[in-house]
Structures are given as C-alpha cells and as structure tokens.
Amino acid sequence: MGHAERMAANRKRRSETIEWVGGLVSLPAYVTGEGEPFRPEMLLWMIPDGPVLGMTTAKPGELLPRAGQHFRDVMTAPMVGPAHAPTRVRVASEELARALGPALEAGIALVCAPTPELDHFMATMRERMGDGDGLEQSYLTPEIGPDAMGSFFSAAARLFRSKPWSVVPNDQSILSVTIEALGVREAAMSVIGQMGQSLGFILFSDRAGFDAYLEGADGVSRGEEPVMPAHFALNFDRGAELGPGLRKEIAEHGWQVAGAGAYPWLVAVDDDLVGRPPTIRELTIAEAIAVALPEVLRDPSELLRAWSGGSPFSRTVSVATHAGPFEVTLGAPCESPASAAHRGRPPYDLLADLADLASGGGEIEPEERVELEDELVRRFCASPEGRTLTDIGACHFVMDLAADHFGATIATLEAADLREILFELIPRKVSIEASKASWVIAENRAFFAFLGREFGLEHARACLGVLGGDAAKKLELALGDRRNFGVAKSMVMEGRGAGFDTSTKDGIEEWMGVLQGRTLSPMLSLASMPRTSSRTADPVTARASKNRRKAERKARSKKR
C-alpha cells in the first residue's frame, strides 16, 4: 500500500476516536564513557492501555526539535498494526505540545493533560531494567582506572577501621565539608551506621539537601513515592552481598579491604532515585573525605561539643589522593537556615517558644522542637554549669522522651514526669550501661540548674529535687535490672552481654541468627534515612531499599 492509500485509509477511520498518548521521559539508567554521565531521553507514542506504537532515544535535549518528524514517521510505520492517524493526541508537556503542533494534520485534536499511561509504562520498565542479576559488573569505568580505584579502596579501608559511626553520635550530627579545589563548598555529610546498619556516609550539596532528604524519608514512611535530592553515598557491604565478578576484580587488582563486612561501594543517586557509577571527581571527593575524617576524629572532644551546643568547630587537613594533595575542611554544626535563625535570640523568647510548642495539646512539631532545643543546649554548654562537662548528650534523652511520651518540652516538663523518664523510660528504652547512671544524673542536674538560673524556669527547683539525693544509685539499679528492659533493648543488651558487638551490622546479624537458630539474609538498605522526629537513626523502608539496590546493579552493569 502506497502513501496515498495509507492516508486515505486514515481518513476513513476519522469517524472513530483514536487517541495517542505521547511524551518525553528520562530512561532509568545512565550512559557513561561519553563525558559526564547522562540519562538518555525517550520520545514515546502509545495507545492508552494498549501497545507502544513508536519510540526513539537520544541525549537529553535532542529529541524535542525532532518530535514532529518522529510523530509523522510513527503514523506512517507504527511498531504495531497498520499505518493510521489518531483523531486525538494527549501530551503532558506544553513544550512538547508546541513542538508537535505544526506536524499535526487537520482534524487531529491536541490536548495537554496528564499522561498516567506513560508513568505506568516507565514503572514497568524500571522493574525490568532493575533486575541486574547475572549482568557483568565492575568498579571501573572509562574514566576510572585500577590505580585510582585502588587508592580509593585504601582510603576506604582506613576509614572503616576508624569506625566514625561509633564516634559521631547519630546520623543527624551533620558535618560541613569544603574542598575548594574540587568545587565542594559547605556540603553536608551524614555519617551513618550508628545502629549497626549501612555503614558509611552520605554527602549532599548543602544542608538544604539533607533537610529535603529528611522530608523524603518521612514521606516514604507514610507509603508515598520517594522524593529525594541528588546525593552520593559510600556504603560498606559484606563480601557476600557483592557479585562474584566484583570480588574477582578486587582480588585481581589487589585492592585493600578492611574486612569481610568492609567492601566499599560508592554510588551517585539522582532525584529520581536512579543510581549511576561515580565520576572521577566524585571518586576523588570520597577518597579525600575518607582520608580526612579519621584524622579529624582522632580527638573528637571539640567536635562533640560543637554538636551538643558548644563553640562551632572547624579543622582543615591536607590529604593525599590518587589525584594529588587536597585541603579538606570539616566543620560543625552544619546548620539549617531555620536553626541559624534561632541563634542569638533572647533567652526568654527561646523558652517561651518551647512552651508554645507544647501548648496545643497535640503532637509537637519535631523539627522546630529539635532546633530550639539545640540552641538551648548550645547556651548550656557555654554556661558555668555546662562548661566543665566533656560529653553532653543525656539531656537530649530527657527532652526526646518528654516529647514522645508526655507531649511536653523542657519548658513544660513537670517533676513527676521527669521522675518517670529517669527511672522507667530510660531503663526501658535507652541502651546504655548501668555505669552511665552518674553521667545521666549529673548532666541533667547541671542542665536544670542552668535553666533555673538563666531562664527562671518555674519547675527547675522541683526537677532538681528529683535529680538529687540517691538518684544516681536508683538509676543505676534500674539500668542494671533486665526486667525493666523493653524488647528492643533486651535484644541489644543481651547480645552485648553474650560477647556480640551489637554496635555493628555484622554483630547484630550474628546475634539475631543465634536467637532465631538460623543465619539471617543480608540486611539490604539504602543509606540509612534519619528520622525527622528525633536525633537517632531509623532504618529506611524496604521499598526505597529495593529501588536503590536495583538502581545500583543497573548502574554498574557494562551491558547498557
């Protein structure tokens, strides 16, 4: 059938409504080896709830000018069925609609409206492309050779041995990172692994990116589609979690690994949760951080005080990498704009704000509470009462439990509720040794003394009465009595008592295997998402974990 006959047949079909859906989409995989990694775009035409009629791919930005010609080509020679013209075309993008308009024959209606059919098609494609089992994988890329990767492995091994997750209090104790020569300025780094899972760090372009990550984590916990800012992460995996090709590659090149659970894995993740291999610049940044962080954590006292509210901390170290020496500056705290806005406010305003948060009778806004409390603790650290303390953190136990269990802040917490927190909730929920009781009591006694002197807190004297006398001995007995432990704390403390290192992923898995009488499958998860409601780590949902792992396997595949 010639062109004229095909067009005549099309006109005969005009009495029917034939709708096409079209759009430009980004493919869920990266192309490397052609400069900066990029995600190809696809121009797609399909029948709603029916077959795909035509598609073409190219680099980002190249397809829009060709949209009209591609539409005509698909009408003439669709992938499925005879040549035909639609009576209606639906696209979601006004930009695509403008590019397509001149190519449409008379009688073809153009509608700019949502195209959920394309979303479903892409979701199916992601599932199929995400199954990377059996695909050949490699740590190397066209721009990252064995020497550069070997230097990174050595730095990662030193980082693993330094166990920064055992020093950094939690994954919301954020470090600012500046490496001027690599274009990194005030990036935000979260060290992860305090719960023994997903050891490593996550790096965001700035603190706003980390805050957006927290919001995305909160959405995932509600069952929403994950919405995350771009970031890259260094994770340490067990060797058993790597494919045989990767383990063989490591052995052949003799790259250094610190242990069976210390195989480094570096992945960049975009805001669609699509992973790709790192660029040579990102590898160098990760290597520089891996060398600098252990040096900074050799004496963490000033850093810990900065996170607890003391004077800001900043230290610059010179590090050697495969690309040469670099100056790396690590600092704390890495404040959000909202937190910085609270700094310097009058004391009584600060306490009044905390009281206002608890005045509604409902759930206290966690982010605002933590920002206000952190500012309060900063002032405590600089006060006569707090200046002599070297490790401030126990007052956070009290403030978090007050909000979670009583809907109170430190400005409204009553003495009776403080007594319950100290002698019932902390022994049940907080995994600390009984020997820490004196520390908990002494710090909170100093904290309430500060609140009474500096702020005139009404119930400070009554709370100091709870913290006086034999409070330390009473708490020590409660912390040592296993009958007080909750389920989670019982598991952690019993494992620790049995000789398992329950501060690490491997130790928890081994102990759980003993409890259940079998070896557990590996814990696969996205770099741990911090909770938005407290200062402690919270595991990510299995859904986001699955997306990330599939993205990583696909990104590593040579068969792109």
Encode pLDDT of 44-85 as tens digits. Answer: 999 998 899 999 999 999 999 999 999 999 999 999 989 999
Domain assignment of residue 140, yes or no: no
Q: How many separate domains does the chain show?
A: 3
Task: Please state, rounded to an integer, the average pLDDT across all residues of the chain.
Answer: 82
- Whether the model clears a pTM of 0.85, i.e. scores above it, the answer is no
Q: For residues 307 and 171, is the Cβ–Cβ distance under 8 A?
A: no
Specify the amino acid at residue 422.
Answer: L
Tens digits of residue pLDDT in 301-341: 899 888 877 789 999 999 999 999 999 999 998 876 655 55
Whether residues 173 and 302 fall in one domain: yes
Specify the amino acid at residue 135.
Answer: L
Statement: residue 490 has pLDDT above 70: no
SS3 125: helix
- Return the pLDDT at 487: 54
Domain assignment of residue 520, yes or no: no
Query: Of 357, 306, 364, 356, nearest to 335 (Cα)?
Result: 306
Statement: residue 284 has pLDDT above 70: yes
Whether residues 375 and 301 fall in one domain: no
Entry field: residues in the chain: 560
Q: Specify the DSSP class assigned to residue 33.
A: S
Domain assignment of residue 522, yes or no: no
Q: For residues 288 and 152, is the Cβ–Cβ distance under 8 A?
A: no
Q: Sorting pLDDT into bands at 50, 70 and 90, what band is 442?
A: very high
Whether residues 250 and 173 fall in one domain: yes
Return d(Cα 108, Cα 115) in angstroms, integer.
18
Domain assignment of residue 495, yes or no: no
Return d(Cα 88, Cα 20) in angstroms, integer.
6
Query: Of 400, 458, 499, nearest to 169 (Cα)?
Result: 400
Domain assignment of residue 457, yes or no: yes
Whether residues 421 and 433 fall in one domain: yes
Mean pLDDT of 84-100: 94
Tokens of 333: 């705290």
- Return the pLDDT at 520: 35
Last residue of a domain, one of 464, 485, 506: 485
**Residue keyed to tokens 């040592």:** 480
* CATH assignment at residue 73: 3.30.420
What is the DSSP pairing of strand 109-112 with strand 88-91? parallel
Domain assignment of residue 492, yes or no: no
Q: Sorting pLDDT into bands at 50, 70 and 90, what band is 346?
A: low
Statement: residue 152 has pLDDT above 80: yes
Most distant CA pair in the chain, distance: 100
Q: For residues 236 and 160, is the Cβ–Cβ distance under 8 A?
A: yes
Torsion angle of the four alpha carbons 446, 452, 453, 456, in this order, in degrees rounded to the nearest 10: 160
Specify the amino acid at residue 501.
Answer: D
Whether residues 375 and 268 fall in one domain: no
Whether residues 38 and 95 fall in one domain: yes
Q: Sorting pLDDT into bands at 50, 70 and 90, what band is 214?
A: confident
Buried b (16+ CB within 10 A) or exposed e, 254-266: ebbbbeebbbbbb
**Residue keyed to tokens 């790192």:** 278
Mean pLDDT of 247-253: 94
Buried b (16+ CB within 10 A) or exposed e, 520-539: eeebebbbbbbbbbbbbbbe
Comparing 256 with 365, the larger pLDDT belongs to 256
DSSP string, 155-193: HHHHHHHH-GGGTS--TTS-EEEEEGGGTEEEEEEEEE-
Query: Of 137, 143, 335, 333, nearest to 250 (Cα)?
Result: 137
SS3 265: strand
Using CA atoms, how far residue 550 sits from 199, 269, 394, 526, in Å, is 19, 12, 40, 11
| Chain CA centroid to CA 533, Å | 15
Domain assignment of residue 531, yes or no: no
Q: Sorting pLDDT into bands at 50, 70 and 90, what band is 532?
A: very low
Last residue of a domain, one of 450, 485, 520: 485
Whether residues 43 and 67 fall in one domain: yes
Whether residues 176 and 272 fall in one domain: yes
Statement: residue 537 has pLDDT above 60: no
Query: How many Cα atoms are found within 13 Å in the side-chain-facing hemisphere of 384?
Result: 4
Whether residues 345 and 430 fall in one domain: yes
Tokens of 117: 């059919």
Q: Sorting pLDDT into bands at 50, 70 and 90, what band is 558?
A: very low
CB atoms within 10 A of CB 12: 9
SS3 97: helix
Whether residues 184 and 101 fall in one domain: no
Comparing 494 with 273, the larger pLDDT belongs to 273
- Return the pLDDT at 249: 95
Lowest average pLDDT, out of 27-41, 332-346, 393-407, 445-459, goes to 332-346
Using CA atoms, how far residue 554 sits from 306, 396, 412, 421, 548, in Å, is 40, 42, 52, 48, 10
Whether residues 392 and 541 fall in one domain: no
Region of 89 please: left (phi>0), alpha (psi -120 to 50) or beta. beta
**Which of 217-231, 280-294, 336-350 reaches the highest mean pLDDT?**
280-294
**Which of 364-373, 530-539, 547-556 reaches the highest mean pLDDT?**
364-373
Residue-range definition of the domain harbouring residue 114:
3-130
Residue 516's Cβ-count burial label (10 Å; 0-12, 13-18, 19+) is exposed
Whether residues 304 and 345 fall in one domain: no
Last residue of a domain, one of 80, 96, 130: 130
- Return the pLDDT at 407: 92
Domain assignment of residue 496, yes or no: no
Q: For residues 457 and 411, is the Cβ–Cβ distance under 8 A?
A: yes
Using CA atoms, how far residue 262 sits from 163, 256, 257, 258, in Å, is 11, 10, 6, 6
